């Protein structure tokens, strides 16, 4: 008598880290809700899959064998699947704080999808290569340094004849351009982490200093006594006024107010970013505790007669006004950081109309170009036609030139 098979047991569950360090179940991407970058990866991988299926259903391009096409398609499919798992927070596993700080899921998803795009370009048809060249050249012109030889090689793509050499160069230009953009994203993430770390350190320093001075007001007095005038403190003025525990708290609060005002005013000079790292928010957060620090430090310097012409303040109102002004004055220092952030954001290729872009390469083709790899030898790309990066507008050869 045959025995019936045992009923299947409950599915085995893997042990995940607790939220917010680990995953959060019950969401679309297992990461507490998808963000714009994960939606971008989902769209990019879907487009790459459609392009991959199209390439599989046709013959290999000239110069590529069937075995080479099979190997490239298999590798591209693995990269696409890995990018999708990274966007869903599965591999590497997404943790709200850990991955947000290190950018593991973001960088893995973008780098793998970019590499899949570069590998797939080796199997493009000539019309597909022609359509991809402008975007690849524009990406390298923004992301690469001015002296990078790949910028000049990318400009050669605009004039090369169709063939295997152009496809291979396009694949390399796409790879190098995406690698430079991914490296810029990494620098932006590190810069954001530095800003947030500095903001946290300044905030802790101000809190600890305020706590110590509140407990011992006479250790760092913030009161002033001009000649033939009553004592002026941040919390009041009068002949019997003495340093109080709330003096440093009042100065710090006014410094915070001045820093918040500077953060609100600086928004007009900042622009949004398409990167997954919130640089403008980190810059605004830095100004708030920096305002409290500069307000306290400036009043201490004035009381020690370190600032010429400001030996003593006459009244409580003057002390409060100077605390607010010095809290706003931290913009003199953080404004340099704002310009550094704008420079980093300009190094990332995007479609932002406000982004600084280098001049376009020359539109006229060079004197001679190789027609393809003769006798199976590698195509040699001439490098004698160097386009100087002067910033001057390039004349259109199709337009008539004015004569004197």
Tokens read off for 183: 């490296």
Nearest Cα to Cα of residue 277 among 340, 341, 338, 355: 341
Instruction: Say how far apart CA 234 and CA 315 lie, in whole Å.
Output: 9
- Domain annotation covers residue 288: yes
Is residue 240 domain-shared with residue 99, that is, in the same domain? no
Place of tokens 């152009």: 166
Domain count, the chain: 2
Is residue 143 domain-shared with residue 224, that is, in the same domain? no
Nearest Cα to Cα of residue 344 among 190, 200, 175: 190
Quick count: other Cβ atoms within 10 Å of Cβ 78? 12
Residue ranges making up the domain that contains 112 = 36-182
Beta bridge partners of 31: 24
Is residue 227 domain-shared with residue 167, that is, in the same domain? no
Question: Chain centroid to CA 203: how far?
Answer: 24
Looking at residue 290, its pLDDT comes to: 94
What's the whole-model pTM score?
Answer: 0.71
Residue 313, helix vs strand vs coil? coil
- Domain annotation covers residue 371: no
- Domain annotation covers residue 377: no
- Domain annotation covers residue 74: yes
| Positions in the chain whose pLDDT score sits under 70 | 1-35, 269-274, 307-312, 349-404
Q: Which of 317, 346, 375 is the last residue of a domain?
A: 346
Q: Which of 303, 323, 346 is the last residue of a domain?
A: 346
Is residue 203 domain-shared with residue 340, that is, in the same domain? yes
Nearest Cα to Cα of residue 381 among 124, 169, 176: 169
- Domain annotation covers residue 14: no
Looking at residue 267, its pLDDT comes to: 77
Looking at residue 356, its pLDDT comes to: 53
Is residue 216 domain-shared with residue 177, that is, in the same domain? no
Is residue 203 domain-shared with residue 322, that is, in the same domain? yes
- Domain annotation covers residue 363: no
Contact 123, 53 (CB under 8 A): no
Is residue 213 domain-shared with residue 318, that is, in the same domain? yes
Instruction: Say how far apart CA 35 and CA 31 lie, in whole Å.
Output: 9
Is residue 60 domain-shared with residue 130, that is, in the same domain? yes
Is residue 146 domain-shared with residue 231, that is, in the same domain? no
Q: Which of 127, 149, 182 is the last residue of a domain?
A: 182
- Domain annotation covers residue 159: yes
Looking at residue 36, its pLDDT comes to: 74
Instruction: Say how far apart CA 231 and CA 233 lie, in whole Å.
Output: 7
Is residue 193 domain-shared with residue 293, that is, in the same domain? yes
Mark residue 10 as left, alpha or beta (left: phi above 0; alpha: psi -120 to 50; beta: remaining).
Answer: beta
Instruction: Say how far apart CA 251 and CA 319 lie, in whole Å.
Output: 8
Describe the chain by its helix, strand, coil percentages, rounded to 5: 55, 5, 40
Residues contacting residue 326 through CB under 8 Å, at least 6 positions apart: 255, 258, 291, 294, 295, 297, 298, 299
- Domain annotation covers residue 213: yes
Largest interatomic CA distance in the chain: 114
Place of tokens 């704008």: 342
Nearest Cα to Cα of residue 179 among 115, 222, 127: 115
Looking at residue 96, its pLDDT comes to: 81
Is residue 194 domain-shared with residue 178, that is, in the same domain? no
Contact 272, 280 (CB under 8 A): yes
The DSSP string of 30-68 is SBSS--HHHHHHHHHHHHHHHHHHHHHTSPPPTT--HHH
Is residue 131 domain-shared with residue 176, that is, in the same domain? yes
Looking at residue 76, its pLDDT comes to: 95
């Amino acid at each position: 008598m045959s025995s019936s098979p045992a009923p299947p047991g409950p599915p085995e569950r893997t042990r995940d880290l607790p939220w917010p360090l680990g995953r959060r179940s019950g969401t679309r991407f297992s990461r507490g809700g998808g963000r714009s970058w994960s939606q971008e990866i989902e769209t990019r991988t879907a487009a790459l899959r459609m392009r991959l299926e199209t390439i599989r259903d046709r013959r290999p391009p000239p110069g590529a064998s069937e075995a080479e096409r099979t190997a490239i398609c298999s590798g591209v499919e693995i990269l696409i699947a890995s990018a999708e798992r990274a966007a869903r927070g599965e591999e590497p596993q997404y943790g709200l704080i850990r991955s947000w700080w290190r950018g593991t899921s973001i960088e893995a998803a973008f780098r793998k999808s970019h590499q899949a795009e570069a590998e797939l370009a080796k199997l493009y048809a000539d019309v597909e290569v022609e359509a991809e060249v402008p975007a690849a050249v524009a990406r390298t012109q923004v992301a690469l340094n001015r002296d990078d030889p790949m910028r000049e090689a990318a400009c050669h793509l605009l004039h090369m004849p169709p063939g295997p050499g152009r496809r291979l160069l396009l694949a390399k230009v796409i790879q190098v351009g995406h690698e430079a953009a991914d490296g810029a994203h990494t620098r932006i993430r590190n810069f954001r982490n530095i800003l947030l770390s500095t903001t946290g350190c300044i905030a802790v320093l101000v809190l600890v200093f305020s706590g110590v001075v509140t407990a011992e007001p006479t250790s760092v007095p913030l009161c002033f006594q001009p000649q033939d005038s009553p004592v002026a403190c941040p919390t009041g003025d009068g002949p019997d006024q003495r340093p109080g525990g709330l003096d440093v708290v009042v100065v710090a609060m006014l410094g915070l107010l001045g820093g918040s005002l500077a953060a609100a005013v600086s928004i007009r000079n900042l622009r949004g970013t398409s990167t997954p790292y919130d640089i403008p928010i980190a810059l605004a957060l830095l100004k708030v505790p920096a305002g409290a620090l500069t307000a306290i430090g400036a009043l201490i310097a004035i009381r020690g007669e370190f600032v010429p012409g400001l030996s003593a303040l006459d009244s409580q109102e003057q002390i409060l006004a100077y605390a607010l002004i010095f809290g706003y004055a931290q913009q003199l220092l953080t404004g340099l950081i704002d310009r550094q952030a704008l420079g980093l954001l300009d190094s990332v290729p995007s479609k932002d109309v406000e982004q600084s872009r280098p001049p376009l390469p020359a539109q006229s083709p060079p004197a001679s170009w190789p027609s393809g790899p003769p006798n199976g030898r590698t195509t040699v790309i001439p490098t004698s036609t160097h386009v100087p990066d002067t910033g001057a507008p390039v004349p259109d050869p199709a337009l008539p030139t004015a004569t004197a």
